[in-house]
Amino acid sequence: MYSAMILEGKRALVTGGAVRIGKAITEALQAAGAEVVVHYCASADEARALSPHTVQANLQSLEECSELIDRAGPLDILINNASLFTKDRLAGSTPERVQREFSVNLFAPMELTRQFAAQAEQGAVINLLDRRIRANDASCLPYSISKKGLEELTKLSALELAPKIRVNAVAPGPILPPPGNSGEDFRELAGNIPLDRLPTPANIAEAVLFLLQADSITGQIIYVDGGQHLLGNGV
């Protein structure tokens, strides 16, 4: 018989855990009593300001990715948050650009999940998706395909790793403006949101904590997007 995961004393790895949504997830886990290993690629100062436990790796490198779980472990929780986003249409989607995006957004989470499962007696994995998995956004083709692939990985790994490990996902909508954009400009760019308010990084972190503690849920996706996924391409 399984009981709800108690986060107090658990050890978690959050990829891309030093900034933006990753930072909110890191802080929420710490507030719940978990020990968080913060993975970063270039944000060393931000990572070390958040946690005494940090690990650097370039997730585009198969070798560095393959060593990450051993360097961070032993682990009870894996949060695949790190991602790469570029605005590439089909004409600009060269094999090199597609490979780079898939390496971070799909291949790294797959390898980390595989290695996590090999070292965990029980545990939980959360993948960060995107509300675009319910739309067809041709302006960011490699990104959209990689996140749709991660959605399928979530479901398939949930089946394969049950009952030992639960695998779920959170699909954010527009959360934070990219560097250089004001909040007002970003709200307009965010498009139609049925609830008429932007989700926050804290909202994403709340959904992550819920899924970690929901012991009867696996293979599920929670959309934190103000209802945008219901509109498909009508955003």
- Dihedral sign for Cα 129, 135, 141, 145, please: positive
Catalytic residue among 2, 40, 143, 223: 143
Q: Peptide bond before 74: cis, by omega within 30 degrees of 0?
A: yes
Q: Is 143 a catalytic residue?
A: yes
CA distances in angstroms from 65 to 62, 74, 212, listed in the order given = 5, 16, 23
Q: Which two tokens stand for residue 157?
A: 């790994």
Half-sphere exposure of 5 (CA within 13 A, CB side): 28
Measure the CA angle with vertex 124, ends 76 and 129; round to 5°: 125
Q: Is 73 exposed, middle or buried (0-12, 13-18, 19+ CB in 10 A)?
A: middle
Catalytic residues: 143
